[in-house]
Amino acid sequence: MALEFISTIGPWNKINLYTDSLSVLEALNTFITSKQEILAIKNDILEMNKEKSITLHWIPAHNGIQGNETADSYAKKATTRPNIEKIPKKSFKQLKNAISNVQI
């Protein structure tokens, strides 16, 4: 989902993507894999890197990092929903604005 969002944003050429999933980062870092999801993510990153510089970062889970705690909270809420909905483009715009207003 983050990669889908990255593909929609305009002026930013340097993207830092943070995840608490060390296993995904390790899988992305392996040369050979048979997992289709990992291959698809690798392909997406390679395609996006033609126009944007994408850097992946690992952050520890459940360590009090506010942005990560907020993301975990939303992810947990999403698991209790009866069905998955597409996020309207308006929500992407709101998310983009929120991200640009965050001070690190």
Q: Is the pLDDT of residue 104 over 60?
A: no
pLDDT score at 95? 67
| pLDDT over threshold 80, residue 14 | yes
Q: Which residue has the higher pLDDT, 66 or 58?
A: 58
Residue 6 and residue 93: Cα distance in Å, rounded? 12
**How would residue 50 be classed by pLDDT, with cut points 50, 70 and 90?**
confident
Cα–Cα distances (Å) from 86 to 8, 42, 79, 83, 93, in that order, read 15, 23, 15, 10, 14
Domains along the chain? 2-101 (3.30.420)
Q: What is the largest CA-CA distance in the chain?
A: 39
